[in-house]
Structure 1
């Protein structure tokens, strides 16, 4: 989880996970080479970059001036996998980790202090990796949520079972102010925060599949204006195209991190 350090004159109150919780609040990429990562995502998604509080290995990605995602070039240093990971807001990182472990999940990292908050990297009981964050949220979080530059979808073995796990860990549908709403719509579970769709959960992933794209995982979607152009740019700059449709493409960056670009009109 990375935080913007650029001075601002805004006078609005800082939003924290103590008032908004359970919703996805950020997405972050662990990478091996910061410069190469910046060059690739600038070419594919048009991002600009800003320094982050956590140090020289971290950057904030900006789209049209708004924070979109965090980059942490610590995969080699911290012996972590190169991957995109969604982070969910929680009121207490320690309590959320405890609830996850009690329900068959595992804690890979943390909770650790990353001022101005605490973070942990977890896996659910089917192996899908996700993060949790307690504390001050990223700059312009409300703008980030409502503009939906990033959208997440869990591909898992059983959407209903996964919804129970995440609901209990992240306090979804708990009737507390700010919590997320959960609805079952056909074969999907739909998560809403403040009335806006913020995540979907769908069944069908296979735990023992040799192909990681069909094993349980959280998929990060970035809204773009031209899906085909993003796919061409990814290939031209050392990435690969795993699937290409008219309004969506599954891409892989040169380090191996998988992500999706989705036409803005599709949700």
Structure 2
């Protein structure tokens, strides 16, 4: 990630992180090869693509015409992990980075300028990676929010401890207008924005596990019509299936990035 990383912004945006803050606002994938990444996700998820002004290594993925995600073929060039990362809207990138560091988290990149905003790539104190975005949100954000083509879940060591960390960073459950609401449901923490469920946090991940799939991490979920068909197609195009049920599958793409496909509409 550097000053050419794809941002959650477009050129005609009217929504900004001043009015939408603390909530997930975008997801982005770092890859090594844009062409094979496009081919994989076009086959598995039916995505189409449009270029962005940042250059030939960057694309916006569309699902039924709605922007879904950013793709950046920079992992090999900048020694970055191939991975899906959620981004959260913040009013001030500098303030959010300071809050993360004060609470035991770490900064990988930034804050850096990505006109018309600023971004940073961070990790919480259990090692789960996430991004922040300050500024205008991309064209089509209201449609993305309504359609919820992407949903995120944090698998972490202690859901309640994680909720405190993120709540202090993002002003969750504060008295500020427009802040996200936090609900405790059994052993799970549910995050709501304007009444809609936008993320979940669940306990059980192990910090020192040799298998990275069970270490603390944010998992990106995409809504699909046929989970089994997506799993078969992923394998046919060089990916793998980590788990499969009737309504959900955890997959790895052809470069190893992990994501989930699901038919579940209730978040």
| Range of TM-score over shorter length | over 0.9
Residue 88 (structure 1) aligns with? 88
1:120 is paired with a residue whose SS is: strand
Residue 16 (structure 1) aligns with? 16
1:175 aligns with 2:175: yes
Distance in 2 between the 1:36 and 1:146 partners?
A: 30
Residue 54 (structure 1) aligns with? 54
* Change over 3 Å in CA distance of 1:193–1:266 after alignment to 2: closer
1:118 aligns with 2:123: no
Q: Give CA deviations for 1:1-41 in whole Å, capped at 9, x if unaligned.
A: 43576x87xxxx61000111000000000000001000000
Distance in 2 between the 1:146 and 1:266 partners?
A: 13
Structure 1 residue runs of 4 or more that deviate by more than 4 Å after TM superposition: none
1:63 aligns with 2:69: no
1:39 is paired with a residue whose SS is: helix
Residue 7 (structure 2) aligns with? 2
Q: Is the 8 A contact 1:227 1:261 kept in 2?
A: yes
Distance in 2 between the 1:230 and 1:125 partners?
A: 34
Distance in 2 between the 1:192 and 1:253 partners?
A: 29
Q: How does 1:81-230 map to 2 (within 5 A)?
A: 81-230=81-230
Distance in 1 between the 2:9 and 2:216 partners?
A: 31
- Higher mean alpha-carbon deviation, 196-205 vs 172-181, is at 172-181
* Change over 3 Å in CA distance of 1:194–1:54 after alignment to 2: same
Distance in 1 between the 2:21 and 2:70 partners?
A: 19
Q: Is the 8 A contact 2:9 2:116 kept in 1?
A: no
Q: Is the 8 A contact 1:4 1:51 kept in 2?
A: no
Distance in 1 between the 2:21 and 2:80 partners?
A: 26
Distance in 2 between the 1:207 and 1:32 partners?
A: 27
Q: TM-score, normalised by structure 2?
A: 0.95
Q: Is the 8 A contact 2:24 2:86 kept in 1?
A: yes
1:73 aligns with 2:73: yes
Instruction: Give the RMSD, CA atoms, in angstroms.
Output: 1.3
Distance in 2 between the 1:78 and 1:166 partners?
A: 28
1:251 is paired with a residue whose SS is: strand
2:32 is paired with a residue whose SS is: coil
Q: TM-score, normalised by structure 1?
A: 0.95
Q: Is the 8 A contact 1:93 1:132 kept in 2?
A: yes
> Between Structure 1 and Structure 2, how many residues are aligned?
262
* Change over 3 Å in CA distance of 1:64–1:4 after alignment to 2: farther
Unaligned stretches of 5+ in structure 1? none
Distance in 1 between the 2:244 and 2:125 partners?
A: 30
1:235 is paired with a residue whose SS is: helix
Distance in 2 between the 1:48 and 1:105 partners?
A: 36
Q: How does 1:228-267 map to 2 (within 5 A)?
A: 228-267=228-267
